[in-house]
Amino acid sequence: MKKIFALCLASVMLMGTLAGCSSSSDSSSTTTEAATTTTTAAATTEETLLVGVAMPTKDLQRWVQDGENMQAELEAAGYTVDLQYAANDIPTQVSQIQNMIANGAGALVIASIDGSALGTVMAEAEEAGIPVIAYDRLIMDSAAVTYYATFDNWDVGVKQGEYLVEALGLATATEPVNMEFITGDPGDNNINFFFDGAISVLQEYIDSGIIQTPSGQTEKTAVATANWATDEAQSRFETILSSYYSDGTQLDAVLASNDSTALGVANALAANYTGTYPIITGQDCDIANVPNLVSGLQAMSVFKDTRDLAAATVDMVTAIMEGSEPPVNDTATYDNGTGIIPSYLCEPIACDLNNIEEVLIDSGYYTADQVGLN
């Protein structure tokens, strides 16, 4: 009996030990599962709050400002921001966007280097279900583009054209004026809106012969500037001046689509032109050009407040993240080859000496010292 009792007691103790082991194992498994669930939830939240922002270059001031404004606005709204600049190199921008997709971005904001060169990576974004906001430059031929945030780019050109008509007195002119043209990178779809908007105002004067172009360079392909580069613009205009104006022919005006090209024109004039200084247009109110606006070396620039565009884009991102409809105010203008892209257009403002203080200083965009008015 004693042996039987001892065997039973040993069996009970062994069962208890096994039960204890089983309980410990279950508890450990449950804890691990809970930890995994928590980690997964945290990762999902982090991914959902990540916004990828792809900018083309730091070479132009406006893109630096756009990127900084965008990052500040998005971070203030609670998002993690992956802001990348691609040094105007398309493969670099593609790689940057691919990394944003791989890192689980909940939305992409892309200012493309070439709006027609992102087809493959846009397909990857679409496959991953990531909404894409084309920023300022429309991405072409891709159904992955969900929305477009930009300024009214046609109106930019219209404002430049209207300024030239008034400044040159074209409405009542009886004698011809000499005007040259320069626009931006042929891979930037915006040049079509800038240039065509201006020509829509100037065309009647071109047709009547009031506007003449001694160089004969009037088509967009002939007046384009790779990467909107100042040195490229300067080189082209040095050739134009030496070829068509060295005999004393008066250059009355230059329709320059933006400030970096306008700066190139001004540099070429400073080195190669002795006639009456022409009227030069521009766009962006870059800090490098503002002294020229103040001194009269550049007549006007179209101001595009990137703070407004950043704020509008953040509103669109927030709506996308929350599953609601982003704010848009144009559903008719911008067709990227796959259909009309719903867009939010900010308003540009013509800026010259008459309103430079109000537009650039009173708004807090620049200080008086930066503008050179102190």
| Dihedral, CA of residue 347, residue 263, residue 294 and residue 199, to nearest 10 | -50
Question: Does the pLDDT at position 9 exceed 50?
Answer: no
Question: Does the pLDDT at position 6 exceed 80?
Answer: no
223, 250: one domain: yes
Pair type for strands 107-110 and 132-135: parallel
More confident residue, 332 or 26: 332
Least confident span in 10-14, 59-63, 152-156, 173-177: 10-14
How many domains, in total, are found in the chain?
2
Cα separation, 323 vs 43, in Å, equals 19
Question: Does the pLDDT at position 42 exceed 70?
Answer: no
Q: What is the DSSP string of 181-231?
A: EE---TT-THHHHHHHHHHHHHHHHHHHTSEE-TT---SHHHH--GGG-HH
Q: Return left, alpha or beta for 228; rule: phi > 0 is left, psi -120 to 50 is alpha, else beta.
A: left
Cα separation, 251 vs 309, in Å, equals 36
In angstroms, how far is CA 149 from the centroid of its own chain?
Answer: 9
Q: If 0-12 CB within 10 Å is exposed, 13-18 middle and 19+ buried, where does residue 278 land? A: buried
Mean pLDDT for all residues in the chain? 88
Structure confidence at residue 36 as a pLDDT band (50, 70, 90): very low
Domain boundary pick from 255, 281, 304: 304
Question: Does the pLDDT at position 304 exceed 70?
Answer: yes
Q: Is residue 125 part of a domain?
A: yes
Cα three-residue angle 238-155-51, rounded to 5 degrees: 95
Task: List residues bridging with 151 in a β-sheet.
Answer: 346
Q: Is residue 350 part of a domain?
A: no
Q: If DSSP codes are grouped into helix, strand and coil, which group holds residue 314?
A: helix
pLDDT (average), residues 280-296: 95
Q: Is residue 369 part of a domain?
A: no
Structure token digits, residue 303: 């101001």
More confident residue, 199 or 33: 199
pLDDT (average), residues 272-288: 95
101, 208: one domain: no
pLDDT score for 28: 39
Least confident span in 73-77, 98-102, 169-173, 181-185: 73-77
Question: Does the pLDDT at position 306 exceed 70?
Answer: yes
Question: Does the pLDDT at position 61 exceed 60?
Answer: yes
pLDDT score for 12: 40
For residue 358, the 8-state DSSP code is I
Q: Which residue has the tokens 């809970």?
A: 34
Under 8 Å between Cβ of 218 and 207: no
Phi, psi of 303 (to 5 degrees): -85, 130
Question: Does the pLDDT at position 20 exceed 90?
Answer: no
More confident residue, 11 or 57: 57
73, 158: one domain: no
107, 146: one domain: yes
227, 284: one domain: yes
Q: Is residue 315 part of a domain?
A: yes
Q: Is residue 14 part of a domain?
A: no
pLDDT (average), residues 301-305: 96
Read off the CATH number of the domain in which 217 is found. 3.40.50.2300
pLDDT (average), residues 360-371: 92
The predicted-structure confidence for 162-174, as pLDDT tens digits, reads as follows: 999 999 999 999 9
The predicted-structure confidence for 114-140, as pLDDT tens digits, reads as follows: 999 999 999 999 999 999 999 999 999
Under 8 Å between Cβ of 190 and 153: yes
Structure confidence at residue 62 as a pLDDT band (50, 70, 90): confident
226, 316: one domain: no
146, 161: one domain: no
Structure confidence at residue 40 as a pLDDT band (50, 70, 90): very low
Helices (H), 190-347: 190-208, 220-223, 230-244, 259-272, 290-295, 306-322
115, 170: one domain: no
165, 141: one domain: no
What is the extent of the structural domain holding 115? 46-151+305-341
Q: What percent of the chain has pLDDT over 90?
A: 83
From residue 190, alpha-carbon distances to 58, 138, 316, 330 in Å are: 19, 8, 21, 16
Phi, psi of 67 (to 5 degrees): -65, -45
299, 172: one domain: yes
Least confident span in 26-35, 84-93, 98-107, 264-273: 26-35
State the first-to-last Cα distance of the chain, in angstroms, to the nearest integer: 111
Cα separation, 282 vs 254, in Å, equals 9
Least confident span in 16-25, 36-45, 90-99: 36-45
Q: Is residue 184 part of a domain?
A: yes
More confident residue, 44 or 60: 60
137, 213: one domain: no
Structure token digits, residue 255: 């329709």
Specify the amino acid at residue 196: D
Q: If DSSP codes are grouped into helix, strand and coil, which group holds residue 146?
A: strand
Q: What percent of the chain has pLDDT over 70?
A: 87
More confident residue, 45 or 205: 205
Q: Is residue 168 part of a domain?
A: yes
285, 236: one domain: yes
Contacts 24+ apart (CB under 8 A), 152-156: 152/345, 152/346, 152/347, 152/348, 153/190, 153/193, 153/194, 153/197, 154/193, 154/196, 154/197, 154/333, 155/197, 155/347, 155/348, 156/193, 156/194, 156/197, 156/283, 156/302, 156/304, 156/348
Structure confidence at residue 236 as a pLDDT band (50, 70, 90): very high
Structure confidence at residue 48 as a pLDDT band (50, 70, 90): low
Q: Is residue 143 part of a domain?
A: yes
